[in-house]
Amino acid sequence: MTTPADAAAGRSDVSRGTGASPASDAAAALLDELVGQGVRHIVVSPGSRSQALALAAAALERAGRVRLHVRIDERVAGFTALGIGRETRVPAVVICTSGTAVANLMPAALEASHAGVPLLLLTADRPPELRGVGANQTTTQPGMFRNLLFADDLPTPEGTAGELDHVRETAAEAYARVTRGPEQGVGHLNLPYREPLAGSLPAWFEAGESRAGAPARAPEPGDPLTLSQGMRTVVIAGADAGPAAEETAHAGGWPLIAEIVSGARFGRQIVHGYRALLRDPALGGRIERAVVFGHPTLSREVTALLSRADVEVIAVAGPGELLDLNHETIGAPSVTVEPGDPDREWLGSWMRASAAQAVDLDAPAPDLDGLTSKDPLARAQATRAELAAIRRPLDREQLAAAVWAATWPHDRLMFGSSRLVRVADAVLPGKRVPVHANRGLAGIDGTISTALGIALASQDADRPGVTRVLLGDLTLLHDVGALLLPVSEEHPRIQLIVANDGGGTIFDGLEVAALASRDDMDRVQYTPQSADIAGLAAAYGWEHTRVTTRSALDQALITPGARRIIEVPLER
């Protein structure tokens, strides 16, 4: 975000909008075309060089053509747009000024690129003559995102004939590239503007009219790959796999190994405790074929399976990065299963083993006979058991189970990249719940921002539901700036359920824990913290609840409210 001093230095009478401005004309044409193509959300981080774009976005909001969101931090803005794209599969537009503002979009851009989430970055820039000469707030922005799906450095608007046609053509191409086709991902339009940086917007634009071209047609999908019966097959559902993984497992009569972040952990063929079963030579050792949906990231056992040369791996095309761990993977745009008799012995062996691995985290049912018994001893024993269930302390398994139990199809659940997502993956049963997680690069950054974008999009048009985020304390602190919402902004229904164990316990399960001293682990791995989360919540205007028992957590999860942090202190 630009500094007040820089903004003041860039002012002139004409840049305040007292006349015509090629920058404003180009910004109006660009955003009008993107909205005509399908954009419905714009996220703005205010700045000086980007003022023409920001004012055009405000005019679109007044006309009811887009929903506008304002964030002071470009990193937060980028991940908020990522969350919107995750939920809607339509790119949100991010607008920012020049300089470091652009670089702050890189984490969200990388995650979106690897996860295949559509996202459009509009970065204002100085004109070419001010690059490389020491001009204020100027760096080399063209090519900063050159390895992503689409990037273009547009000419500086001059008000000449035909230039707005080129702006529109480039906007339409960018939208088409990031939304339609075998890949989805990130488009970057770098926009160099000269003063006057803003002027009167075109009358047709202010009036809420559109001159956008017709949206491009989506390409026809390729022919599906037909899978035969007979091979000992498992279906692997990684992040963002979606219901297609369950449908394929059901059609083939094959076991379904569905990560908790897959959106496919439901149905009769879910495998519980899959990590142990993949290590079992009688089950995992006999696999001949793996059909993979999404991006598996949560277990070394799945990675090892997909790296084996003796296993035929079929990766069903998704919007993200191509999977090819064994360098022999067969890619398929989609799959169907040929008619035939499934291998019932193969599926049955997995289902029997799965039943033995299932974890029951529910409290025992109340002893109604004991509670109503006329025998004082029996009644006292039943009462003590009921009180123990109510006062049951929380651990990571109970925390994950409570959040899972409270979440339904009209809700959204976001997992942070912390120890908790692996605990949840290990113990939670099947349930059809819309799940999100930033597993493209599996970083902890931007988790709250992404969830806010998901909440804003999923609750559009007053749709019901709550977005819940299950995350660790360091994941919260890494994105604490996302808690700041300007007073004019919409506040969606969202709960941040924070496991506060003092920092960094995910490293307990890695090799480093067996090699390093405790002092070194504390210094460079665990990152011990003693942040006052209640104080942070109060400072940013969020409600805060601290719970230590399962019953208190269950109650907190169903208590109405807009923005709440539920803090769960845990032992290391």
Determine how many CB atoms are found less than 10 A away from the CB of residue 219.
Answer: 10
CA distances to 198, 235, 268, 453 from 562, rounded to whole Å, are 36, 38, 36, 14
Between CA 413 and CA 315 the distance in angstroms is 26
- The residue length of the chain stands at 572
Q: Which of 375-379, 385-389, 455-459 has the lowest mean pLDDT?
A: 385-389
Whether pLDDT at 155 is above 60: yes
123 forms beta bridges with 96, 190
- Specify the higher pLDDT residue, 2 or 326: 326
Q: Does position 15 have pLDDT exceeding 60, yes or no? A: no
Average pLDDT of the residues in 33-54: 97
pLDDT tens by residue, 101-128: 999 999 999 999 999 999 999 999 999 8
Q: 546: helix, coil or strand?
A: strand
Write out pLDDT tens, residues 441-487: 999 999 999 999 999 999 999 999 999 999 999 999 999 999 999 98
**pLDDT value of residue 202:** 95
| Confidence tier at 374 by pLDDT (50, 70, 90) | confident
Tell me, what's the pLDDT at 12?
Answer: 33
Mean pLDDT across 311-324? 92
Phi, psi (5° rounding) for residue 78?
A: -60, -45
Looking at residue 236, what is its pLDDT? Answer: 98
Q: pLDDT per residue over 159-177, tens digit each?
A: 999 999 999 999 999 999 9
Mean predicted confidence (pLDDT) in 381-386: 75
Q: In what order do the strands lie in the sheet with 563-569?
A: 435-437, 412-415, 467-472, 494-500, 563-569, 543-546
Residue 95: what pLDDT? 98
Whether 546 has a pLDDT exceeding 50, the answer reads: yes
CA-CA distance, 257 to 195, in Å (whole number)? 57
Average pLDDT estimate for 430-445:
95
Confidence label for 6 from pLDDT (cuts 50, 70 and 90): very low
The pLDDT score that the predictor gives to residue 350 is 98
The C-alpha atoms of residue 390 and residue 551 are separated, in whole angstroms, by 6
Is the pLDDT at 7 greater than 60? The verdict is: no
Residue 493 DSSP SS3:
coil
pLDDT computed for residue 510 by the predictor: 66
3-state helix, strand, coil in the chain (%, to 5): 40, 15, 45
Q: What phi and psi, each to the nearest 5 degrees, are found at residue 314?
A: -115, 115
Residue 17's pLDDT band (boundaries 50, 70, 90)?
very low
Identify the three-state secondary structure at position 221: coil
Q: Above pLDDT 90, what percent of the chain?
A: 75
pLDDT of amino acid 507: 67
Give per-residue pLDDT as tens, 68-101: 999 999 999 999 999 999 999 999 999 999 999 9
The pLDDT assigned to 506 comes to: 66
- Average pLDDT value for residue range 399-425: 96
Express each pLDDT in 126-154 by its tens digit: 998 888 888 888 888 898 998 888 999 99
Tell me what pLDDT residue 335 has.
96
Decide if pLDDT at 180 tops 90.
no
Say if CB 275 and CB 353 are below 8 A apart. no
Please enumerate in sequence order all residues whose Cβ is within 8 A of that of 85, keeping only pairs 6 or more positions apart, or say none: 91, 92, 112, 117, 118, 119, 453
Please state, as a whole number, how many other Cβ atoms lie within 10 Å of the Cβ of residue 504.
Answer: 21
pLDDT, mean over the chain = 91
**pLDDT at res. 9:** 37
Residue 279 has pLDDT above 80, yes or no: yes
List strands edge to edge, sheet with 92-96.
Answer: 67-70, 41-44, 92-96, 119-125, 186-192, 150-153
**H/E element, 6:** helix 4-9
Give residue 182's pLDDT band: very low, low, confident or very high (50, 70, 90).
Answer: confident
Residues in CB range of 554: below 8 A, 6 or more apart? 402, 405, 406
Residue 190: the pLDDT is: 96
Q: How confident is the model at residue 318 (pLDDT cuts 50, 70, 90)?
A: confident
Alpha-carbon dihedral angle through residues 44, 49, 53, 56, given to the nearest 10 degrees: 100
Q: What is the structure's pLDDT at 393?
A: 84
Strand ranges inside 278-332, DSSP E: 289-293, 312-316, 330-332
What's the pLDDT score for residue 4?
Answer: 43
| Statement: residue 380 has pLDDT above 90 | no
pLDDT digits (tens, 9 = 90+) for 195-246: 999 899 999 999 999 999 998 887 777 899 999 998 999 999 999 999 999 9
Cα torsion 123, 126, 129, 132: sign: negative
Q: How confident is the model at residue 421 (pLDDT cuts 50, 70, 90)?
A: very high
pLDDT at 513 over 80: no
